[in-house]
Amino acid sequence: MRASADVEETLAKLAGAPPGVLIGEPCVERARADAAALDGVDPATMPLYGVPYVVKDNIDVAGVPTTAGCPGAAYVPDADADIVARLRAAGAIVVGKANLDQFATGLVGTRSPYGTPPNVLDPTLVPGGSSSGSAVAVALGLVPFALGTDTAGSGRVPAALNGVVGLKPTVRRMSNVGVVPAVRSLDCPSVFATTVGDAAAVAAVMEGGAGTRSPEAAPPMAWPPRVGVPAAWPPDVSISPAMAAWFAAAVERLAALGCPIVSVDIVGHLQLGRLLYGSALVAERAAAVGELVAKVGGGADVADVEGLDPVVAGIIARAGEQVGVDVYRAEHAAAEARRAVSGVFADVDVLALPTTLATVTLDEVHDDPVGRNQFLGTLTTFVNLADLACVTVPMAPGVPGGLQLIGPAWSDDDLAALGGGYEQASLADRDPACAVVVVGAHLDGQPLNGQLTSRGAVRRRVTTTAPTYRLYELAGTTPRKPGLVRVAEGGAAIEVELWAITPAALGSFLLDVPPPLALGTVELADGSWWKGFVCEPRALDGATDITHAGGWRRHLTLIS
């Protein structure tokens, strides 16, 4: 009964939604049927039991027209998009289709014959696009979450301008089957919500499926992560005073969480981003929907075609004029630019940027529809081209400015944890997927630490073991080494470090561990168990008990 009550409440809200938020009427019959199907189902068996949401109208919902923002291109799909099917299986309920910039071509939210959704924070501003209706529906409190897509910033820009969370996953973490393509190789389903935790929970349900990539082990991320921010804004980049002030305050907030702030050069990132629509790479947009646009136009002047936006039609038509040799040249240039920008993650774990350089008004877009659109994407277009993940969070309550937290592919969970910490102004400890506990010569700054750092390992935290260990200095070792031994009684907590490392690197690291040391399993003070250094009992012959020191560093200080 609860699911049906929530759906009816949401449908009533949608009936009063401002013009331009939805395309068509709410999905009343489907929503009620899905809610009724949950009767008698244990809510604990479905992570999104009865949660209503809206879907950007370039994503298929079975039996409901998909328009992609163009009435002439509408069709009625027989099946749900893969991501919608996964959400349905998890208990979520579609209640409507959301407006968008036509064919997901735009970052402004005004390129739709179905109207322009209002910017929730300032009615003089554009709502952002292309996932305009999805962002506004969440910002208005009509639904707890919404689906969009993000190719060049279509999920992040409207989230930022309306003060909600926009989660853009690793490219092909989720299936695009049943999604009208914009740039097929780069398109990402995206999630809008009011908190990062909610967005991440929805994304976890959506991942996998047809056409997706196998998850890869992301490079270990230090925690708190090292955050890169622009050393300086390039001369041709103009950030508004308001956005600069909001961003400066956001960086201070990250620093207060314990994140080391590192200055980085973003010129290469911006150059890569310009290639998406400023080079022959734009041909892929024509490949995605060019035939559909031509079919809708029927060869007529676009001004005479019902529902076809002339700006969108012109963009796609020009994309179709690219020739093969120029596309290959652009691909080669993009590959070189990707290599150049990937190096930033050797020095930082996360790149922090404003989502937009400024807000943009409706009047400004009316006067300069192409230029203002490009301006909004200055800091977003490189992300998918560089195969990065991102989450956008409001810089501050009520501010039409979002903070992008950008990381390598498959760093989605770490980015969500950082974004959630930013929201709460408190960064909790985050255990890595794979780590090793070190106690002596492999500690940070000690003689054998390079065996870890050379394999890309990063220190996540300094902590102690459970109070069930004794520590010894072993006899006759070079360099000097301790031995950690678990005991049944008379133990103590010993200071150790937890180092994040990939499984493959941990395997090669094991080969460097000499006897009588070994990698076993060590219990930490919080009750967690990790692979770590232990000692064979025979090694204690002639060893000195140094448990009283509480750790190897303290022991070295005491004897120096």
Average pLDDT, the chain: 93
What local confidence, expressed as pLDDT, does residue 524 receive?
A: 96
For the stretch 332-374, pLDDT in tens is 888 888 888 888 998 999 999 999 999 999 999 999 999 999 9
Q: Could you tell me whether strands 145-150 and 52-56 are parallel, antiparallel, or unpaired per DSSP bridges?
A: parallel
List residues bridging with 263 in a β-sheet. 229
For the cut 80, the answer to whether the pLDDT of residue 421 exceeds it is yes
Min mean pLDDT across 286-300, 316-330, 513-527 is at: 286-300
For the stretch 210-265, pLDDT in tens is 999 988 877 789 999 999 999 999 998 999 999 999 999 999 999 999 999 999 99
Q: Which residue has the higher pLDDT, 334 or 17?
A: 17
For the cut 60, the answer to whether the pLDDT of residue 302 exceeds it is no
Q: Which helix (H) or strand (E) holds 376?
A: helix 369-376
Q: Is 459:453 a contact under the CB 8 Å cutoff?
A: no
Q: Is 467:493 a contact under the CB 8 Å cutoff?
A: yes
pLDDT band at 491 (very low <50, low <70, confident <90, very high): very high
**What span, in angstroms and rounded, lies between the C-alpha atoms of 440 and 481?**
6
What local confidence, expressed as pLDDT, does residue 517 receive?
A: 81
- The CATH superfamily assigned to 2-275+327-424 is Amidase signature (AS) domain (3.90.1300.10)
Min mean pLDDT across 65-69, 168-172, 327-331, 405-409 is at: 327-331
What local confidence, expressed as pLDDT, does residue 361 receive?
A: 98
Q: Which residue has the tokens 């079975």?
A: 62
pLDDT band at 475 (very low <50, low <70, confident <90, very high): very high
Q: Strand, helix or coil at 78?
A: coil
**What span, in angstroms and rounded, lies between the C-alpha atoms of 466 and 524?**
5
For the stretch 434-448, pLDDT in tens is 999 999 999 999 999
What number is the average pLDDT over the span 191-211?
97
For the cut 80, the answer to whether the pLDDT of residue 292 exceeds it is no
Q: Is 337:330 a contact under the CB 8 Å cutoff?
A: no
For the stretch 496-544, pLDDT in tens is 999 999 898 999 998 888 878 888 999 999 999 999 999 888 889 999 9
pLDDT band at 431 (very low <50, low <70, confident <90, very high): confident
What local confidence, expressed as pLDDT, does residue 132 receive?
A: 98
**What span, in angstroms and rounded, lies between the C-alpha atoms of 227 and 344?**
11
What number is the average pLDDT over the span 460-476?
95
Q: What ranges in 38-113 are assigned the alpha helix state H?
A: 82-89
What local confidence, expressed as pLDDT, does residue 1 receive?
A: 57
What local confidence, expressed as pLDDT, does residue 64 receive?
A: 98
**What span, in angstroms and rounded, lies between the C-alpha atoms of 119 and 129?**
11
For the cut 80, the answer to whether the pLDDT of residue 142 exceeds it is yes
CATH T-level assignment (fold) for domain 435-559: Hypothetical upf0131 protein ytfp (3.10.490)
Q: Could you tell me whether strands 52-56 and 93-98 are parallel, antiparallel, or unpaired per DSSP bridges?
A: parallel
What local confidence, expressed as pLDDT, does residue 124 receive?
A: 98
Q: 49 to each of 3, 142, 194, how far by Cα in Å?
A: 7, 17, 18
Residue 93 makes CB contacts below 8 A (sequence gap 6+) with 3, 7, 31, 34, 35, 50, 51, 52, 53
What local confidence, expressed as pLDDT, does residue 298 receive?
A: 57
**What span, in angstroms and rounded, lies between the C-alpha atoms of 33 and 51?**
14
What number is the average pLDDT over the span 90-105?
97
Q: Which residue has the tokens 């708190």?
A: 224
For the stretch 32-59, pLDDT in tens is 999 999 998 999 999 999 999 999 999 9
| DSSP state for residue 203 in the 8-state scheme | H
Structure tokens at 396: 């501050």
**What span, in angstroms and rounded, lies between the C-alpha atoms of 59 and 85?**
11
Percent of the residues in the chain that have a pLDDT greater than 70, as a whole number: 97
- For residue 473, which phi and psi values (nearest 5 degrees)? -90, 125
Q: Pick from 298, 350, 303, 369: which is nearest to 126 by CA?
A: 369
Count of beta carbons in the 10 Å neighbourhood of residue 106: 32
Domain residues of the chain, as ranges? 2-275+327-424, 435-559
**Own/partner pairs, 331-336, CB within 8 angstroms, 24+ separation:** 331/281, 333/275, 333/279, 334/272, 334/275, 334/279, 334/281, 334/385
- So which residues are the catalytic ones? 56, 130, 154
